[in-house]
Amino acid sequence: MTFGQIFASIASLVTLLSLVDELRRVKAADWAAFFKSEPLPSSTEAGSDPALPTSSPFPVTSVNDHGKDVIDRLPLAHGGGLGGPIDIQQSLSDQVANDLRTEPCYVDQDIFYDWVPVDNKLPTKKSPGPSITKKAATKLMTWKNANAYKEIPVPLPYGVREGQRWRLVLSAVPAASAPSGGVPASARIPSSQIYLDEDTIGKWNPFPVSSMPVTFTANAKSVKGAPKQEQIERTYEFRVLTSESSTTGESVTVLPSRTSGQELVNQLKGLQVEDDSESKAVRLVIREQTSFDLDKKIWDSGIGLSSWIVQVLNRRLSEPEVPSEAKLPGEVDPLDWLKRVLTSSSPLRILELESLFSGAGTGIVALILAALRSRIADAEDSILTTDLDSAIPLLQHNIDANESTRSSRVSLKAGVLDWDQTVSEQLPSQDGDSSIDLVVCVRPPLLPL
């Protein structure tokens, strides 16, 4: 086993040991949500195409039997009689728990909702429709573990019209009535993003979640037999600190901005560029399944390791180098070693390893590494993320969907690692070198080593 492999295993364990307590306390917004729609007939004349009503809450209809995490039963389409006001029966029940749903959250949470429009058509003179503006999240309820799975109504999107598509975003903050326990004011503000570069990740706020697009329609026929949603998405953001030398020779920390040299490099590489006033420098949207399939979920350990790598690298990039004479002969600092590897200008070959019962899953660690390497180096890296056959389609989707976050010089591929073949046969060699520079592996905490 190479030093890189040993370090990768240690890094994963250190991440679990240092972050699991924080992540487990109020961690995942693994919302168990069950939606059911029943169109009701309408007596209004057809063809009027009014906006759907927004003042009445949905009557309660049903409960999720299995407690799936997130919005796993949202209908693809729903509505009522053609052309008239539409009344909809729909229910939502939620749960806040860890990734395996074995440990519920015992801290009361204020749950917020927000409907976000998806590629809706712009108003026309013939059908102007209401203007759609981005609004702040609205409080939906105060969640208590004792009342888990209690059905609650959710108002419709404001001014929603026929054929429009929306996503339902849920977020949570510690309830105002809950013991403060040192909860900072920033933790009381709901957010639809997960910030990997913040050291409070997973400590106070459950992770937010977004449904897949929901189509609103008055066509009752399209509702019958419409498939239920079995996927959700989460948005991850982080900044990458860069170390630039000033005229005095001192190391200074620079945040990428729209006018910085690093941002210009990113633009020239074709990398995603975000408005600093609205988001972090890097944004990834990662899809996962809501079922109990172990190979299609984002684990606590995956988020923990990704956040740990981002934060450790940012700290190391902003710190001056320690003179070699200050270290004992032969002493190697694993964190310095990781910094040297990830900031190396040489091409890297990185393997996200599939382990027993746990593979790359959604590919979050590989996606983070690809985004980091694209911003702090300009090398032709090869990254292979591996899992079972059944997980490859989801892995490939996340790789394709986040293409703008990495340079075209970084090759990121998903594949099934054949344990009967050597790794060098499955990773493309670079100048005849078939060695692996970095191996990463995440492991759910309940699975044995």
Q: Which class for 432: exposed (0-12), middle (13-18), buried (19 or more C-beta within 10 A)?
A: exposed
Residues sharing a CB contact under 8 Å with residue 118, sequence separation 6 or more, in sequence order = 165, 166, 167, 213
Which of 304-341 are b and which e, b meaning 16 or more Cβ less than 10 Å from the residue's Cβ? bbbbbbbbbbbebbeeeeeeeeeeeeeeeeeeeebbeb
DSSP secondary structure code for residue 218 in this structure: S
Whole-angstrom distance, CA of residue 403 vs CA of residue 407:
8
Domain ranges, ordered by start, for the chain: 3-21+239-440, 31-190+207-229
pLDDT digits (tens, 9 = 90+) for 363-376: 899 999 999 999 88
Rg (CA), the chain: 24
- Give the integer Cα–Cα distance in Å for 24 and 300: 8
CB hemisphere CA count around 98 (13 angstroms)? 18
DSSP string, 285-336: EEEEESSS-GGGS--HHHHHHHHHHHHHHHHHHHSPPPPGGGS-TT---HHH
Sheet of 382-386, strands arranged across? 411-415, 382-386, 349-352, 438-440
Render pLDDT for 327-367 as a digit per residue (tens, 0 to 9). 555 677 788 888 888 888 888 888 887 554 455 578 899 99
In tens digits, the chain (449 residues) has pLDDT values of: 333 333 333 333 333 333 333 333 333 333 333 233 333 333 333 333 334 333 323 222 222 222 223 333 333 333 322 233 344 545 677 778 777 677 888 888 899 999 999 875 544 444 444 333 445 789 988 888 887 778 888 888 888 888 888 999 999 988 876 666 677 777 788 888 999 999 888 888 889 999 999 888 877 666 666 777 888 899 999 998 765 433 333 333 344 443 344 454 444 445 555 444 444 589 999 999 877 666 677 777 889 889 999 998 888 777 666 555 555 556 777 888 888 888 888 888 888 875 544 555 788 999 999 999 998 887 889 898 887 788 889 999 999 999 999 999 999 998 887 667 766 666 655 555 667 788 877 665 544 44
For residues 369, 374, 378, 382, the Cα torsion angle rounded to the nearest 10 degrees is 50
- Cα separation values, 114 from 111, 154, 213, 355, Å: 10, 10, 13, 37
CA 325 to chain centre: 42
pTM over cut 0.75 = no
| Cβ–Cβ < 8 Å for 349, 22 | no
What tokens does 403 get? 């293409």
